[in-house]
Chain A
Amino acid sequence: MNKLKVDETIQEVRTSLALELEMAKDQGRKVVGCMCSYFPREMVWAADAISVGLCGTTEEPIAAAEEVLPADQCPMVKATYGRAIANTCPIFPLADCIVGETTCDGRKKMYELLAREKPMHIMELPQKPEDKEALIHWTAEVRKLKGFIEEQLGVEITDDKLRQTIKDVNEERRLLVEIHRCRQVHPVPVMGVDLVGLTTKFGYTVDHEPYRERLRELLAELQRRIREKEFACSPDRPRILWTGLGNSLGCDKVLKLVEECGGVVVCQEGCGGITRIEDMVDEEKDPIEAIAERYLRVTCSCMTPNTTRFNDIDRLIKEYRIQGVIDLTWQFCHTFNIESYRVGELVKQKHGIPFLHVVTDFSQSDVGQLRVRVEGFLEQITLGN
């Protein structure tokens, strides 16, 4: 693995996954579609089934979705629904059932329509995670999920199987964390865009062992580059922490823009970022309870208060020697949009470094205007004094 780049588009990556899924299904395996970081995928793998992300990240399915959904909805909600109804997604038809969570209002109501397309289960996510009742409720929801999957797929998920899966998925998390931490060095061994591409692509997998093998190879290559001082860019590039959304192959236009304009994204917090992988599931506890605890700790802005996200950003700024923070919100995502004010306060007032809040969608129409903001933000770092 010498070339740390993904040349395929997200559509191509999905098409090759669809081929693998079809082969796996021919051998009797089942596929569960999932939507969000709150989904405990251990439950699917423990059933010997495959979990695939069906969350929308591209523009094409949105037009079809807008025939049903109002246009002033978040692009992720529209694209997710569009993938299901527009016949453009090669993966969606292969899912045997889908699981969603009550994260935000747009998703929750869209899922009612999505449920017409496939058997669907909704997990009710509590939104005050610090209250002790939240975990009790969420644990019950995780148990219900187990029942749904067992019934849908006609399998039994044993505690032993669940324990083994927890260990396997934790192992993947450990590898991913080590991969991300390779970017603490200066300059980094891999560009942000390339790492997002690689981890998105690798994550589209039907089997765990080949996935772990790819992660090990990637880690070894990054470690070799660091040893041999083979850096991805010049040391002059401002080191940027990414937070919020827009961290995935397909919806990475702003991420690309930041690196085109001379910055380098060295760490991602939020959806698709390090804070979604560095938290392990406890391997000693009762597996259902351990899973419930772990997934309730995910720091989406739908939670109130979302204290851990602020602690994470505070810590990551130091760990990754961050010079500026970009917070990306999808249009009409009220919770990330409002929370951004407090993220900005933390970054500017406590750390005294530049902060940029970008609100956008999946289209390319605003790239010119965004370029001014991104360049201006980078100039704050390079020409600010």
Chain B
Amino acid sequence: MFAGIDVGSLTAKAVLINEVGKTFSFIKETGDNPKKSGEKVFEEVLRKAEINKADVKHIIGTGYGRIALSFVDKTVTELTCHAKGAHYLNPAIRTLIDIGGQDSKVITLNQNGGMADFVMNDKCAAGTGRFLEVMAGALKLDLKEMGDFSLRSNSPCVINSICTVFAESEVISLLASGRAKEDIIAGLHQGIAKRVGNMARRLGIKDEITFVGGVSKNTGLKSALETYLEIKFAPVGEDPQIVGALGAALFAREKYFTELSRKP
């Protein structure tokens, strides 16, 4: 078995893959200790696969918490891992939008699944998982409800602020003025779609395009992005939240066999 551990700012993900491509995965919240949650998620995925740590031949760490992981053999950035994972799941993919807890990225892939180019948002939470979490808090909603909620809107609000702090006050004002939560969330999603969509356009969108990372589970935002970019996201056929960890596991497997073939 080979492991990929992706410790993001909000969730930690672990994927195990064997020689023939059978996978196991596990997701949990990162909380305040990225090192511990990395270890925990690894233990859990081992339990799920009913194997021991000794059965894992190579481990690659990724995500913002990668540097905190002492048990991994090597680290690779989540950028390269996402490209790798997405290419494995669907080799036709050339553009990847990944929105995670604390940043959003657009990655273009070459035909071998290598990263050809990328762009990331600036150092702020605008348009990220954290942004949506803050907004869900302001609207007294569960984060998971937001997607379907926004799809019920007929007249989305216009949210002008892209800064998390200002957007939150704008949301509170809109609530005070009696606007429906559906319309406010739909407005937020359109705001994010515009911001991330322009980032993708700046890089140049090549078909097929897909949407991964925890925030891609938000159906409302996904649909807002498809409308804004006038595209249809290609499916990856796997939980979109584990694509980075899967990429890391694939690197672990590749690394193991390259080293093996080098041995006399």
Listed in ascending order, the chain A residues whose CB lies under 8 Å from chain B are 348, 354-355, 359, 365-366, 368-369, 372-373, 375-376, 379-380, 383-385
Q: Which of A359, A366, A368, A376 contacts B118 (CB 8 A)?
A: A376
Interface of chain B, main secondary structure: mixed
Chain A to chain B contacts (Cβ below 8 Å), 5 pairs? A369-B120, A373-B120, A380-B80, A383-B114, A383-B251
A72: min CB distance to chain B, Å: 13
Pairwise interchain contact B110-A385, C-beta atoms closer than 8 A: yes
CA distance A380 to B103 in the complex (A): 19
Whether B123 is near chain A, meaning CB under 8 Å from some CB there, is yes
Q: Which of A359, A372, A376 contacts B64 (CB 8 A)?
A: A372
Whether B73 is near chain A, meaning CB under 8 Å from some CB there, is no
CA distance A384 to B251 in the complex (A): 12
B18: min CB distance to chain A, Å: 22
Which residues of A lie under 8 Å from residue B112 when comparing CB positions? 385
Interface size, B (range): 10 to 19
User: Which chain A residue has the least Cβ–Cβ distance from B111?
Assistant: A385
Interface residues of B in 54-82 (CB under 8 A from A): 64, 76-80
Pairwise interchain contact A369-B103, C-beta atoms closer than 8 A: yes
Pairwise interchain contact A372-B79, C-beta atoms closer than 8 A: yes
Pairwise interchain contact A384-B120, C-beta atoms closer than 8 A: no
Pairwise interchain contact B76-A383, C-beta atoms closer than 8 A: yes
Query: What does the 1/0 interface line of B96-116 toward A look like (CB < 8 Å)?
Result: 000000010000001010111
Q: Which of B77, B103, B120 contacts A379 (CB 8 A)?
A: B77
Pairwise interchain contact A354-B120, C-beta atoms closer than 8 A: no
Q: Which of A359, A365, A375, A379 contacts B122 (CB 8 A)?
A: A359
CA distance A359 to B117 in the complex (A): 17
CA distance A114 to B156 in the complex (A): 50
Give me the 4 closest cross-chain CB pairs, A-B, nearest first: A376-B79, A384-B114, A379-B80, A376-B77
CA distance A365 to B77 in the complex (A): 19
CA distance A368 to B66 in the complex (A): 11
Contacts A384-B115, A384-B116, A385-B114 known; A379 to B64 CB distance under 8 Å?
no
CA distance A372 to B114 in the complex (A): 16
User: Which chain A residue has the least Cβ–Cβ distance from B84?
Assistant: A383
Q: Which of A348, A366, A368, A375 contacts B117 (CB 8 A)?
A: A348
Contacts A379-B115, A380-B114 known; A368 to B79 CB distance under 8 Å?
no
B209: min CB distance to chain A, Å: 19
A101: min CB distance to chain B, Å: 30
Which residues of B lie under 8 Å from residue A355 when comparing CB positions? 117
Which residues of B lie under 8 Å from residue A379 when comparing CB positions? 76-77, 79-80, 115
